[in-house]
Amino acid sequence: MKLKKFMKFRILLLVFFILISLLVIRPGFDTEGVAIKSISKNSSAEFAGMGVVPNLMQRDREVIKFINDVKISDLEDYSDIIDSLDMNNSLTIVTDKGRYVMLKGDNLGITVDRVAGSNLIKGLELQGGTRVLLEPEEKLSEKEVRDVISTMENRLNVYGLTDLTIKEADDLLGHKYIIVEIAGASKDEVEELVTKQGKFEAKIGNETVFYGGKKDIKFVCRGDGTCSGIRSCDQVEGGYQCKFEFTIKLSEESADRQADATSNLDVNISEYGYEYLNKPLDLYLDGILVDSLNIAADLKGKSARDILISGPGFAATEQDAFLDATKNMNKLQTILITGSLPTKLNIVKFDSISPSLGSEFVKNAFLVGILAIICVAVVIFIRYRKLNISLPMVITCSSEVLIILGIAALIKYNLDLAAIAGIIAAVGTGVDDQIVITDEVLSGATSGYNWKNRLKKAFFIIMVAYATTVAAMLPLLKAGAGLLTGFAFTTIAGVSVGVFITRPAFASIIEILLNKE
């Protein structure tokens, strides 16, 4: 059979989309090194000239190959060499795009991940992490929901959690929800950061002088040992207590409010001869007193913008107390930078999946897909007893999966278990449609209808089934607070690819092959 017979528009269109999908997915086996996911602001890495272009495909990320002439093959190699370096040691980092020299400080500022084997983005179930479905305690407008999402994104990014997705969702009853998906975060971390309103208040007596957020606080020191860190650790009853300190800079309005609040206070003298005002600066977080700071007497009635914030950490051992103080400091710094949420958020559903379990899901999904294609091929061959019918069916089914994955990679869609189920459902309807086309063509050969009329009848059935499937999937885009969106989206994408690309190509192929007989 001459290859020229297959040079029909429908078949060439299918080949074009297959090639485009392969280019977009970019499967590769060179996964040595570690990929740079993000660079923190005001970090050693940023000062050395490192940066990340936003919205890059996974395979386009900059990859670290060597650190101080030591080859980096995976995340373990990277962690080992970073941990082995002392503070202020020099680092020479060589990537696939450049060479950078920096000092290891408190904040190196590089977040890394494994080098991706393709541009496909794995969802929560496939890579491990935490998903939280949140419902606002109060009814919010669209703008307020966007403000909540923006504040949460800032809060989680500042805290160091960069591999995250936060999106709005609603159900068919109109209830609004917020879905947070974070890779590599523990349940406790996520619950602490996303459900707490994070309302910070600094009070003198009953008067609030400043709040957390950009309006009142213009600068918060973090990652700089000269103005932020753990200052002391002492043994106390029941364990150890460590004290953290960091400086902040107030806005002029906040400093003026503090001056007004202190102007009429009395001056006390401590047993050591220090003069301080009779009311302290009380720091509250979500209504709980975090610390009370004595105000020096010389600040009475003065508009002071530079404030030293402090707080404790407690634990049974000194090391754990140090870690607790560090955690409390990071949390307080984060809330001071990002401000409070407009309302409290209640957890409706909480899912946490380990990375190892996610890896097993990937293997199982891949295995199930291969087995499904083999089973379909066997059943079709038993039904028709002809390779020139069963083989094109299997090829077009496989190409349909490839094109769906190409679309997902192009729009950076997270592939979760629901999305994979949608792909399987779409391929299943594809096999049904191909059987309809084949049966119409074969039955038409004995009934005397021409090819055009036979295919018209087949495609009428296919288009009716397509419209029914899409209509059934549309409500699922909203149902379940968005948790079924992946299933609905990939099903609609899959049947659309099938109806407009793979089914017409299959019809042309089967027409050529059966005419040959």
Domain ranges of the chain: 3-26+358-516, 34-117, 129-197+345-352, 200-327
202: Cβ–Cβ under 8 A, 6 or more apart, which residues?
208, 209, 210, 211, 281, 282, 283, 284
Q: For residue 136, what are its two tokens?
A: 């606002």
CATH topology of domain 129-197+345-352: Alpha-Beta Plaits (3.30.70)
Secondary structure of residue 189 in the 3-state scheme: helix
CA atoms within 13 A on the CB side of 269: 2
Helices (H), 284-351: 318-338
- In the chain, the amino acid numbered 129 is G
The whole-number pLDDT of residue 406 equals 92
Outline where DSSP puts E strands in 164-280. 164-170, 176-182, 200-204, 207-211, 217-220, 228-236, 239-250, 267-269, 275-277
| C-alpha–C-alpha distance, residues 98 and 298, integer Å | 53
- CATH number of the domain at 3-26+358-516, out of 2.60.40.10, 3.40.50.1010, 3.40.50.2300, 1.20.1640.10? 1.20.1640.10
| C-alpha–C-alpha distance, residues 289 and 284, integer Å | 4
- Homologous superfamily of 34-117: PDZ domain (2.30.42.10)
pTM for the complete prediction? Answer: 0.67
Q: Which of 335, 48, 288, 320 is nearest to 194 (CA)?
A: 335
User: φ, ψ for residue 77 (rounded to 5)?
Assistant: -60, -45
| Residue 230: other Cβ atoms inside 10 A | 17
- In the chain, the amino acid numbered 24 is V
Q: What is the pLDDT along the chain (517 residues), one digit of tens a residue?
A: 566 676 788 889 999 999 999 999 998 877 889 998 888 776 788 888 888 887 788 888 899 999 998 999 988 889 888 888 877 778 899 998 889 998 876 667 788 888 888 888 887 777 777 788 888 888 887 877 887 887 777 767 666 565 677 888 877 777 788 888 776 566 666 666 676 666 778 898 888 888 887 788 888 887 777 788 888 898 888 899 998 888 889 899 988 998 888 888 888 887 667 788 888 888 887 777 877 878 888 888 888 888 888 888 899 898 889 988 888 888 788 777 777 677 778 888 877 766 666 667 667 777 877 887 788 888 888 888 888 888 888 888 889 999 999 999 998 887 877 888 888 888 888 888 888 888 877 776 555 556 667 677 778 888 888 899 899 888 888 766 667 788 888 999 999 998 899 988 988 888 787 764 4
The whole-number pLDDT of residue 193 equals 67
